[in-house]
Structure 1
Amino acid sequence: MDFTTLSARQGKLMVSVGDSFTEGMCDDTLPDGTFRGWADRVAERLAQDDPQLRYANLAVRGKLIGQIERDQVPLAASMDADVITLAGGLNDVLRPRCDIELVEAKLRSCLEQLATEKATVVMFLPTDPRRRMRGSQRLMPNTHRLMKLVEGFAETHGVVVVDLFSARVFDDPRLWAEDRLHLSPEGHRRVAEAVLQALGAEEGFDWRAGLPPARPAPWFRARRQDLRWIRIYLLPWIGRRLTGKSSGDGRPAKRPEPTLVADATSNPAADATS
């Protein structure tokens, strides 16, 4: 479905499912304490053409694809949405003993439950971590398998695929938060624009364009930042892996019920590219 047709349909429902990427981790914080995130930004833009747009975001940080399939997808499928965004599986790939065949099966199950004649389903090719994260090469075989699966969904189910993998702008550390794992507000702004353009919206800006050159940090400051990252982010992450805990344990869905964007976000009139 193209953006013109989608925009003409009034009273639409947008539902997002996934993990921290879709929850909006490390974007601007809203008054209720949640993060804004690219999905909120997309909903805000869609609501400019459809003030009656309702929006639900079921994503929870740290969730594996099996948890997304079990806890989020059946609820999303029951909502009869017009636009559904689905992102998941990378938390599984990050784990050393990832069963990629099981991940593929779970992701396929998610799509089959969500894909309807009415719904426009949006999925992603993830950003390429190799140029910004040391040691990420080990993730690439499984990442490529997920990418091939998603690309196949475009042919078999008409999924709208947002290609973040080929966008070199995501090599820029300024598009990433201090934890180096989640997007910064600028990163979320870029992803929102990428989604909108993939849906066929008029270009708001070139989301692939590089940022102005940044002055390199002095060596000692960069090393101090590395040590801080290890202490605050890497070691706790390793600890959670060893104990089987997740940052999303006990955390409710971000926006479990479909509500008008005017009620679901603090800035409903904001352009997704702002």
Structure 2
Amino acid sequence: MQTRQWRSFVALGDSFTEGIDDPADRGYRGWADRVAEALAAQADGFRYANIAIRGKRLEEMVVEQIPVAARMRPELVAFVGGGNDVLRTKVMWQELHAKLAHGVRTLVETGATVLLCTGTTYAQALPFGKIVARRAAAMNEIIKAVAAEYAQVLIDPWDGHEQGNARYFSIDRLHLSPAGHRRVAAHALAALGLPHDPELLVPLPAADRVGWLRARRADVGWARHHLAPWVGRRLAGRSSGDLITAKRPELVPLVIEPETQPAN
């Protein structure tokens, strides 16, 4: 069977799709950029836009990003959200389901194929980790249901124990490391029926265990540098994306830049 050549791709969402903590020469790379690079290698004249912005909630994606993506009329759209919603004090599940479905329906009506992705439920290292994990699992069920309802492409990269492997997460314990972004990209390419490195689908060996004292020191440092600023933004009603603009706001030909960062 001949592999489909996608000629245009728009990625929307939050920090996950913006590519936070997958550093590049200029800003961040991330799983969506990695997928775009693979797509560009398959089709001449390939065009790509990434309008994801860190901190965005699902409602903001539907209101601000979905209309932009719909006007671009790409062949493929990545629509991944909900992670910031489950971190809020109160979660309105029916509203989240309705917003996600509305966004997917709007994109499908333009003729696009929509790529959705479940989130990790690994939250033991976060405050109220068990609550966050349960919420993340509930959000994943919504994502799966909407993908099935509209017969769109679903990625489920964290269906095994590998989601608890610290190697897939950055130092802030929330965003993905370069290894995590590579894994998601490989799952996306596999779901689209495109060439990918099968080794990236094999779980990495578990991270080395550290002693109790070293772990507590790491907890203190994490709380100071990552938790405290996050709490401060919540109390002030601010978002990490308030002053951020989309890194690739236009649907234009993609120039592939070499990967210069060491593998993690």
- Compute the TM-score of the two structures, normalised by the length of structure 2: 0.91
In 2, the alpha carbon distance for the partners of 1:24 and 1:227 equals 26
Report 1:128-207 matches (<5 A): 128-130=121-123, 133=126, 135-207=128-200
Amino acid of the structure 1 residue aligned with 2:4:
L
Report 1:12-161 matches (<5 A): 12-30=7-25, 33-116=26-109, 118-130=111-123, 133=126, 135-161=128-154
Residues 148-157 or 177-186, more deviating: 148-157
Match of 1:233 in 2: 226
In 2, the alpha carbon distance for the partners of 1:142 and 1:128 equals 8
| 3-state DSSP of counterpart to 1:121 | strand
| 3-state DSSP of counterpart to 2:98 | helix
Match of 1:266 in 2: 257
Deviation string 1:41-99 (CA, Å, 9 cap, x unpaired) is: 00001111113110000000001111111111100011111110001111011111222
Amino acid of the structure 2 residue aligned with 1:219:
W
Report 1:3-18 matches (<5 A): 4-7=2-5, 12-18=7-13
Deviation at 1:156, TM superposition (A): 2.4
Amino acid of the structure 2 residue aligned with 1:35:
Y
| 3-state DSSP of counterpart to 2:84 | helix
Deviation at 1:14, TM superposition (A): 0.2
User: 1:127 touches 1:167 (CA, 8 Å); kept in 2?
Assistant: no
Amino acid of the structure 2 residue aligned with 1:40:
D
Amino acid of the structure 1 residue aligned with 2:97:
E
Higher relative CO (CA 8 A, sep ≥ 6), structure 1 or 2? 1
Deviation at 1:239, TM superposition (A): 0.9
Which ranges of structure 1 fall in alignment gaps of 5 or more residues? none
| 3-state DSSP of counterpart to 2:4 | helix
How high is the sequence identity, in percent, across the aligned residues?
Answer: 37
Deviation at 1:168, TM superposition (A): 2.1
Amino acid of the structure 1 residue aligned with 2:30:
G
Deviation at 1:132, TM superposition (A): 5.1
In 2, the alpha carbon distance for the partners of 1:144 and 1:57 equals 26
Which ranges of structure 2 fall in alignment gaps of 5 or more residues? none
Deviation string 1:164-209 (CA, Å, 9 cap, x unpaired) is: 2313222111111110110001110111001000111244124342
- Are residues 130 and 250 of structure 1, via their aligned partners in 2, closer, same or farther at CA, if it must alter by over 3 Å? closer
In 2, the alpha carbon distance for the partners of 1:143 and 1:212 equals 24
Amino acid of the structure 2 residue aligned with 1:266:
E
- Are residues 213 and 103 of structure 1, via their aligned partners in 2, closer, same or farther at CA, if it must alter by over 3 Å? closer
In 2, the alpha carbon distance for the partners of 1:144 and 1:250 equals 30
| 3-state DSSP of counterpart to 1:43 | helix
Deviation at 1:211, TM superposition (A): 1.9
Q: How many residues align?
A: 262
- Compute the TM-score of the two structures, normalised by the length of structure 1: 0.88
Deviation at 1:266, TM superposition (A): 2.3
In 2, the alpha carbon distance for the partners of 1:130 and 1:246 equals 20
Deviation at 1:145, TM superposition (A): 3.5
Amino acid of the structure 2 residue aligned with 1:171:
G
Residues 38-47 or 167-176, more deviating: 167-176
- Are residues 233 and 79 of structure 1, via their aligned partners in 2, closer, same or farther at CA, if it must alter by over 3 Å? same
Residues 18-27 or 164-173, more deviating: 164-173
User: 2:70 touches 2:110 (CA, 8 Å); kept in 1?
Assistant: no
